[in-house]
Structure 1
Amino acid sequence: MGAGMMAAGGASAGQAVAGTGASAVELQAVLERFAGFGVKASGGAGDNACGDWLEGLLSAQGYACERQTFDVPFAEVRTATLTTGGVQAQVLPQGVVVPTGPGGLSGPLRLASSEAGLDGAIAVVVLPFRRWVSLADPTASKPVADALARGAAAAVLVTTGPTGEAIALNVSATKPGFQKPVAVLAPKDAEPFLEAARAGQGATLTVDATVGRRPAYNLICRMDRGAAKTLIVTTPRSGWFDCVAERGSGLAVWLTLAQRLAAAKPKVNLEFVVTSGHEYIYLGGEEYLAHKAPKPADTHAWVHIGASAAARDWHELGILRPLPSADPQRVLTATPQFIDQARAAFKGISGLEAVYPADRANAGGELVNVIAAGYGAAVGLYGGHRWFHTTGDDLRCSSGELVAPVADAFGAMITTILP
């Protein structure tokens, strides 16, 4: 990213943060670089390479960078399939992954919703239509847990959603998970297996994988201005797949703000944090909050840029057709003292112009835990676009042109809340 995202040195701090218009070309380059790192699973090659890249960029801007390391689960999958009769489909092993071994696990396919016995069966759980996110949602986790408790040897989730693709679900890395294999089957592939489950036909689920734990790290970038309080700006970088719109669009906003604020020299210390462990229900964010974050009394404000900051919208016309506009299924919340400033800064930006109070009812993502920890001055974004948590969240799903107005709005809002 070049000087186009930097404000002129002679501008006031407020003008420098607000900027004169983020460069769509430079933001597109950020998205393309992020996409090039590939899968962003926590502690994997893509996640680590992205963190290395960001550390180099922010160090060059004068930030002092620190890595906060913690352990996360991982799975290196060799084979993940569901087979019945002559039909086979690829499945997503659901984290935390429990392998079947290379020979697979065989048994009758049965619908979890049926009253038939499930002993030794592969239970098929069909979820209702939704943009699915997490196993913290009991609508997703409870029927699986019930099926396994009724004796099923494994479970297959059909994540019914807007793309027909399998949707990976975030999961806790610290609470006890499913002790039997669970996989996700794409709705577009489900019908033959649903027919087989209604008939109780035999099937084989194969999840052949090496599993364990590995280190991941948060990147914490500080700039000490000798001020009494610190402005914290956070965003996650990890996720199940390439995550271009889910993670990349917010990261591009975060990087823009880091560069603008470094040049602006506001009367606060700066702490820019990009976390790993997100898909394990905010594990990296929790680690930062518990062990590294400035105390609430020492924090001027906490700005969190969460999922799907600038994702593409799509027409649903039998097939999905991309639109030049942004998906409005994104939400902005703010603590009471910042609501008016946020509404003014984000006016006209679909989904984000309706700013809600940042409380347990409205906040999403890592900001929920920030508010619960007593940070009373906060603003946060979260959302879920159509290709969210699927392998299809690639460069089709965002663009520099979609990111630019969001970056400018965050800059304008921060200008109004600086001391």
Structure 2
Amino acid sequence: MSQRERISNVIREYDAQGIHRTATTTDEASAHWLADHVRAAGLEPRLEGYDVHRLDPGECFLELDGRRIEGVPLFDCTYTDVEGVAGQFCTSTSSDEIALVEVERGHLASNLRTLRRESDAVAIVVVTAGRGGTVFTDGDTRGLVLQNAYDFDEPFGPPVLQVSNEVVEWLRERAEAGTRARVVAPAKRTWATAYNVTAELPGSDPKLKPVVVNTPRSGWWEIAAERGSGIACWLEVMRGLVASSSQRRVFFSANSGHELSFSGMVSVLESYPYLVADATWLHFGANIGATTGTRSNIAASTEALQRIAAAELDSVSRPTHYVIGKSDGGEMASVHRRGGRQYLALTNDNAYFHMREDRFSNNINVDLVTEYASACLRIAQRLVAHSPSDT
């Protein structure tokens, strides 16, 4: 089987498994599926479980002007009972009513977090816009865009219901008119087990500092491009390094818990704390090879690592933007906060990021993912041959 066929099959299978939210039955089944692929690549997988709350929302909706609009609550807020809360629909979060808030699609949604902490609203209805912010422009994507739960372990603020931006104009009209509204957003937390899939390629020289190849494997929907492409690249790097052997130990980790405060990465760092400072990290982030993407982004902790990445990614047909000395805000931010200073993180943009529409059938450029997999294998081989962590 060719590399392209392997990559296509992996992403297609991952996409078909269902919704990959942390600690669900799909998430656990997907961990076992990935373990089988690790074994086929030549390493012995480990399923490393950790305790985490699974959040199960009930029937959640906004009731407004005789219309019911279904939504999904934030996973780090408070919740209503099954009767919900009622109030005047408005755009002010300082009043004791139901507030409409529009936010631009962003990686951290920091403005929304600040607003929630300061809000007096009984509930908030959030509409996440596309690339153009709160004013829709050509290229924006209509639909339900979900926000990650950056404060999953410390939920705060009023109940927050996320609804599709397809109805944003109608919602603005209702807010301007001060229409009465009701938000129903119940949810239940249950202790569960999530799994990181790990494997190790033992090096022949224990004095050499390790390399870590990492990718998240969970998220809100089927997430073919957001996560499936990174998993495919992760497996191809694994396969290539196994075939070429290594003097240096290489640790592979595919983490659950990405959308829930990066809890899977936190578990890895707590289980293997020496990896933070000792290892050089190669991280496959979101949206690699998404058909709707326009460029790749590399967060390199040092200029030396940026040069290594640039030398190999120049062969990829999609242009690359480089940021040096700043993490990508995802899992590598967790590494950086704990003192890690040697990492490369690859992401692409994606018009369907955090949306149900991110599927294999319409958002995967298999040829482009294959280009990234080949380039990143060469990057990994260079890191294994001479890691900046050795100096």
With the shorter chain as reference, the TM-score category is 0.7 to 0.9
Query: SS in structure 1 opposite 2:71?
Result: strand
Determine the structure 2 residue equivalent to 1:131: 105
Query: What CA distance in whole angstroms lies between the structure 1 residues aligned with 2:18 and 2:126?
Result: 25
Determine the structure 2 residue equivalent to 1:365: 330
Post-superposition shift, 1:39? Answer: 0.6
Post-superposition Cα deviations, 1:304-359, rounded to whole Å, max 9, x if no partner, equal: 1111122112xxxxxxxxxxxx53153342523222221110015366534332x2
Query: What CA distance in whole angstroms lies between the structure 1 residues aligned with 2:9 and 2:274?
Result: 32
Determine the structure 1 residue equivalent to 2:134: none
Post-superposition Cα deviations, 1:259-294, rounded to whole Å, max 9, x if no partner, equal: 111111121122110001111232211221122254
Determine the structure 1 residue equivalent to 2:363: 397
Determine the structure 1 residue equivalent to 2:289: 310
Query: SS in structure 2 opposite 1:287?
Result: helix
Determine the structure 2 residue equivalent to 1:160: 129
Query: SS in structure 2 opposite 1:79?
Result: coil
Determine the structure 2 residue equivalent to 1:12: none
Post-superposition Cα deviations, 1:194-227, rounded to whole Å, max 9, x if no partner, equal: 2222222111112244333322121111122332
- Normalised TM-score (structure 2): 0.88
Kept after mapping to 1: 8 A contact 2:31/2:197: yes
Kept after mapping to 1: 8 A contact 2:87/2:181: yes
Post-superposition Cα deviations, 1:350-382, rounded to whole Å, max 9, x if no partner, equal: 66534332x23x544212232343334322113
Post-superposition shift, 1:298? Answer: 4.6
Determine the structure 2 residue equivalent to 1:145: 117
Q: Measured at CA, do residues 269 and 110 of structure 1 come closer, stay the same or move farther in structure 2, by a change above 3 Å?
A: same
1:178 aligned onto 2:156: yes
Tell me how large the CA RMSD over aligned residues is: 2.3
Name which of 95, 99, 102 aligns with 1:118. 95
Q: How many residues align?
A: 373
Post-superposition shift, 1:31? Answer: 0.9
Query: What CA distance in whole angstroms lies between the structure 1 residues aligned with 2:371 and 2:41?
Result: 23
Post-superposition Cα deviations, 1:28-80, rounded to whole Å, max 9, x if no partner, equal: 11111000111111111222111111112213444233333223333323412
Determine the structure 2 residue equivalent to 1:11: none
Query: What CA distance in whole angstroms lies between the structure 2 residues aligned with 1:176 and 1:29?
Result: 39
Query: What CA distance in whole angstroms lies between the structure 1 residues aligned with 2:277 and 2:226?
Result: 31
Q: Measured at CA, do residues 143 and 296 of structure 1 come closer, stay the same or move farther in structure 2, by a change above 3 Å?
A: closer
Kept after mapping to 1: 8 A contact 2:282/2:344: yes
Query: SS in structure 2 opposite 1:331?
Result: strand
- 1:138 maps to a residue whose letter is S
Post-superposition shift, 1:296? Answer: 5.2
Name which of 344, 352, 361 aligns with 1:379. 344
Superposition pairs of residues 247-262 of structure 1, within 5 angstroms: 247-262=227-242
Query: What CA distance in whole angstroms lies between the structure 2 residues aligned with 1:118 and 1:107?
Result: 10
Determine the structure 2 residue equivalent to 1:318: none
- 1:76 maps to a residue whose letter is D
1:338 aligned onto 2:305: yes
Query: What CA distance in whole angstroms lies between the structure 1 residues aligned with 2:319 and 2:31?
Result: 28
Superposition pairs of residues 10-409 of structure 1, within 5 angstroms: 23-96=3-76, 98-112=78-92, 118-119=95-96, 121-127=97-103, 130-134=104-108, 137-147=109-119, 150=120, 152-161=121-130, 162-173=140-151, 175-228=153-206, 229-295=209-275, 298-299=278-279, 301-313=280-292, 326-328=293-295, 330-349=297-316, 353-357=320-324, 359-360=325-326, 363-395=328-360, 396-409=362-375
Q: Measured at CA, do residues 37 and 293 of structure 1 come closer, stay the same or move farther in structure 2, by a change above 3 Å?
A: farther
Query: What CA distance in whole angstroms lies between the structure 1 residues aligned with 2:157 and 2:314?
Result: 48
Post-superposition Cα deviations, 1:218-252, rounded to whole Å, max 9, x if no partner, equal: 11111223322322100000111111111111111
Query: What CA distance in whole angstroms lies between the structure 2 residues aligned with 1:192 and 1:145?
Result: 27
- 2:107 maps to a residue whose letter is V
Kept after mapping to 2: 8 A contact 1:235/1:305: yes
Identity %: 25
Query: What CA distance in whole angstroms lies between the structure 2 residues aligned with 1:342 and 1:195?
Result: 49
Query: SS in structure 2 opposite 1:355?
Result: strand
Kept after mapping to 2: 8 A contact 1:133/1:389: no
Q: Measured at CA, do residues 103 and 223 of structure 1 come closer, stay the same or move farther in structure 2, by a change above 3 Å?
A: same
Query: What CA distance in whole angstroms lies between the structure 1 residues aligned with 2:215 and 2:319?
Result: 17
- 1:223 maps to a residue whose letter is L
Query: What CA distance in whole angstroms lies between the structure 2 residues aligned with 1:172 and 1:353?
Result: 27
Post-superposition shift, 1:25? Answer: 2.5
Post-superposition shift, 1:84? Answer: 1.0
- 2:269 maps to a residue whose letter is L
- 1:156 maps to a residue whose letter is V
Query: SS in structure 2 opposite 1:74?
Result: strand
- 2:375 maps to a residue whose letter is A
Kept after mapping to 1: 8 A contact 2:298/2:344: no
Query: What CA distance in whole angstroms lies between the structure 2 residues aligned with 1:418 and 1:392?
Result: 37
Query: What CA distance in whole angstroms lies between the structure 2 residues aligned with 1:298 and 1:201?
Result: 58
Query: What CA distance in whole angstroms lies between the structure 1 residues aligned with 2:277 and 2:168?
Result: 52
Determine the structure 2 residue equivalent to 1:415: 381
Query: Which ranges of structure 1 fall in alignment gaps of 5 or more residues?
Result: 5-22, 314-325
